[in-house]
Structure 1
């Protein structure tokens, strides 16, 4: 059997990096797409230094030309794609709806929601060519609840769940399963930036989780890669939390 090929958007840091490392540990060839050239190159180098196969492709997920070029690179090198985990995203500049600027709204929706749509648009033909596969989209616990001063981010994360379910229905006949994961408060560079700006947030995050701690990116990566594997073969259109009990409250 040919080596499996996995694509991870946002693979230069945080959850995406952890997913890429997990795929590599499972002997998949890993394509890392990220706008952060240094981070993406570091992830690829780490995989290769451990004896794995990795390719970094600079890519902004909200630009269709970039996503089309990424798919062409994968097509040329492997001619197939088996798994895709879409992790690329940004945090919103915090603002209540009445104060949110159009620029703030557009940037957040463009990357966090449009980026997922464009990722799937260009991943799906490759997955079909492979005879099927799996996509996992990264939403959030705020994809199923509201929070103050983050309407654009919340709207994008809700939208990702809707996109995921539409894709699951559309692609089932092609053997492609599509699921979403809903991370809670995970110790990623994005969350660290929020905590640095607002130190009181860390305690709030701890109080929100029944397990009273922040998650580790690898704990999310385990779920994402499991959803791509045979043990999840009857799962599609689902949105699954990995949140330490945030949504249980």
Structure 2
């Protein structure tokens, strides 16, 4: 039997890249999937890919920085499929590399609203739904840069590293009630954004590969497999952990 047969899973930022890969693997493992994305067309494309492969999914448009929209996306899972068992909080706002003092307040606030507060809002409503089911599993998407830093990414790494603290505390708060909260720390992946960058600057990809002991970048599916594993019973004793899937980059 598939690892998540009969479960209901929700993935934010599932219109492309890692989120799409997670949604498709959830479906492959037997889950009914709520595909959440800010861009309706991206979410619908993911749903169609799942249906074409014989899976079951619905698309929900939501901005995870907006409490009412987050509440509505979880309600859609409950009303459509009867509850919620698994969630991967992957939505991200990307601003680009800028020195801290050059970041306008509005861009900083938008980045934190999506990349950090958005995770809090998602967890808040996901946990409430999971408590009604008697348990569940949540995976928050951080960054493979958990143990390092990069110039120009204060808006990104501050949120991603804060997510790890949020994950640990939530794990302590709800582990005893059957909800396992963990995180995944992805390394560099062949996302649509990176492929676009590679076309413009092939040297950037060479630099990333040189930082990775495996000497290659990941396909999103490789990281997604690790994230989905954290939602299965095979990870039943894993709690408050960050699983870094970065090809060993952090070792350097």
- Per-residue CA deviation, residues 25-61 of structure 1 (Å, 9 max, x unaligned), is 1111000000011110011011112221101001111
Q: Match of 1:229?
A: 232
Q: Give the direction of change, closer, same or farther, for the CA distance of 1:153–1:197 in structure 2 (3 Å limit).
A: farther
Q: Match of 2:149?
A: 146
CA RMSD of aligned residues (A): 1.6
SS class of match (2:250): coil
- Per-residue CA deviation, residues 130-161 of structure 1 (Å, 9 max, x unaligned), is 11010000000123321101111010110110
Provide the TM-score with structure 1 as the length reference.
0.95
Structure 2: segments with no counterpart, 5+ residues:
none
- 2:94 paired with 1:91: yes
SS class of match (2:237): coil
C-alpha distance in structure 1 between counterparts of 2:150 and 2:98, whole Å: 11
Provide the TM-score with structure 2 as the length reference.
0.94
Q: Match of 1:15?
A: 18
Deviates more, 1:27-36 or 1:138-147: 138-147
- 2:159 paired with 1:156: yes
Structure 1: segments with no counterpart, 5+ residues:
none
Task: Map 1:95-244 to 2 at 5 A.
Answer: 95-196=98-199, 198-244=201-247
SS class of match (1:84): strand
C-alpha distance in structure 1 between counterparts of 2:5 and 2:233, whole Å: 16
SS class of match (1:241): strand
Residues 65, 113 of structure 2: 8 Å contact kept: yes
Residues 90, 190 of structure 1: 8 Å contact kept: no
C-alpha distance in structure 2 between counterparts of 1:245 and 1:125, whole Å: 36
Q: Give the direction of change, closer, same or farther, for the CA distance of 1:151–1:215 in structure 2 (3 Å limit).
A: same
- 2:57 paired with 1:49: no
- 2:80 paired with 1:77: yes
